[in-house]
Chains A and B, each alone.
Chain A
């Protein structure tokens, strides 16, 4: 069978100790049996390792952070598209998703297809709305309160037993064992991510995750559960193993069915010793450990591209449990000219 030629733009090439999903997404796509790929890498920083990985991208462009303004980002994407004509764009950063979702129609008019959650789907799973989300969709979530100021810290002791989790609206989570530690974490989190700061009940158990893909019609196209085996001090999985857990799959399918989730997602759950599952977070994108799902038999990025192209994709029902990934770090030797080119020209 001849392969379809396609050009895909991917962000998140920061394969650092807090890795973006871009590199594993590209690696997954390169294993596609149906597409002959040309990859356009989109980077924010000149030291994103994906820029320097041989054979990963055909072309790389620097793009402005969404904080510089949505229009600037989209203008730059359109400018790159005029030159490179890519078919599908796969954004992989939480912070950029909103800009791309908001401009989905504009991008489509320019001929750039995406497959992202709707703004409603994106916003209702915000961390500070998790209790309402749990209630609406029938999923257990840890109790939480949102703190708008330090004065409210005294309310914690009436509502929770220590320890509690102190979480930023977008990122960062600290365990606090007393009021002093809550204050310290509150300041750290609020200075970086703003308000509110979320105080969440600490649920003791094992952290497990599901990577999934919804087709936007309520169907689960792919779902693979995983348990982190090795966690870095940033809470990132450095090793993991696929699980055979029907309950996790049932939770995922039920959520996708009810929300009609469109695009990739990662459910972060805590499994207690009693075998109960608490949803602690939903990441509205493909996670960095996506290549494990590919290794287990479900090529989620390939399926996402097909959906973005409007093709029918049959749900992938099986995968291999007991497949592991182990991450590693690796030094790439780079000539200064390469760094200079991306730093000076914004492309390479």
Chain B
């Protein structure tokens, strides 16, 4: 999974897709996740970073992470050749 080349992410959580013209606001957690994905971290790394930083269990993280990924993919913020690929 990759952040689409045309997507710009601001430090305040404003995400703009210059290919579609869509813009979104993400909350601080969403911004952190988006940035980690943009930096090319895989699912396991992101999970361990989040579990270390927040009071969170494995299952909740996975559920929320996949939900978030599905949402940003729907809005063409990410591209994914294999739908099961979260690397």
Please state if A245 and B19 are interface contacts (CB–CB under 8 Å): yes
The distance in angstroms between the C-alpha atoms of A322 and B20, with both chains bound, is 10
Q: Is B21 an interface residue (CB 8 A)?
A: yes
Please state if B19 and A322 are interface contacts (CB–CB under 8 Å): no
Q: Is B80 an interface residue (CB 8 A)?
A: no
Please state if B20 and A321 are interface contacts (CB–CB under 8 Å): no
The distance in angstroms between the C-alpha atoms of A325 and B6, with both chains bound, is 20
Name the interface size band of chain B: under 10
The distance in angstroms between the C-alpha atoms of A226 and B20, with both chains bound, is 9
The distance in angstroms between the C-alpha atoms of A208 and B8, with both chains bound, is 20
Please state if B19 and A244 are interface contacts (CB–CB under 8 Å): yes
Q: Is A32 an interface residue (CB 8 A)?
A: no
Q: Is A286 an interface residue (CB 8 A)?
A: no
The distance in angstroms between the C-alpha atoms of A321 and B18, with both chains bound, is 6
Name the interface size band of chain A: 10 to 19
Chain A, residue nearest B76 (CB): A275
The distance in angstroms between the C-alpha atoms of A229 and B21, with both chains bound, is 8
Chain B, residue nearest A244 (CB): B18
Q: Is A241 an interface residue (CB 8 A)?
A: yes
Please state if B20 and A243 are interface contacts (CB–CB under 8 Å): yes
Q: Is B61 an interface residue (CB 8 A)?
A: no
Q: Is A183 an interface residue (CB 8 A)?
A: no
Q: Is B16 an interface residue (CB 8 A)?
A: yes
Chain A, residue nearest B16 (CB): A322
Residues on the A chain within 8 Å of B18, using CB:
242-244, 321-322
Q: Is A306 an interface residue (CB 8 A)?
A: no
Residues on the B chain within 8 Å of A243, using CB:
18-21
Q: Mark B15-26, 1 if CB is under 8 A from A, else 0.
A: 010111100000
In the complex, what's the smallest C-beta–C-beta distance from B5 to chain A, in angstroms?
9
Q: Mark A207-233, 1 if CB is under 8 A from B, else 0.
A: 010000000000000000011010000
Q: Is A187 an interface residue (CB 8 A)?
A: no
In the complex, what's the smallest C-beta–C-beta distance from B81 to chain A, in angstroms?
15
Q: Is A206 an interface residue (CB 8 A)?
A: yes
Residues on the A chain within 8 Å of B6, using CB:
244, 321
Residues on the A chain within 8 Å of B19, using CB:
243-245
The distance in angstroms between the C-alpha atoms of A37 and B19, with both chains bound, is 36
Residues on the B chain within 8 Å of A227, using CB:
20-21
Residues on the B chain within 8 Å of A321, using CB:
6, 18
Residues on the A chain within 8 Å of B21, using CB:
208, 226-227, 229, 241, 243
In the complex, what's the smallest C-beta–C-beta distance from B34 to chain A, in angstroms?
17
A to B CB contacts below 8 Å, 12 in the list: A226-B21, A229-B21, A241-B21, A242-B18, A243-B18, A243-B20, A243-B21, A244-B6, A244-B18, A244-B19, A321-B6, A322-B18
Q: Which 7 A-B pairs have the closest CB atoms?
A: A227-B21, A321-B18, A244-B18, A241-B21, A244-B6, A322-B18, A243-B21
Which residues does A use to contact B, with CB under 8 Å?
Answer: 206, 208, 226-227, 229, 241-245, 321-322
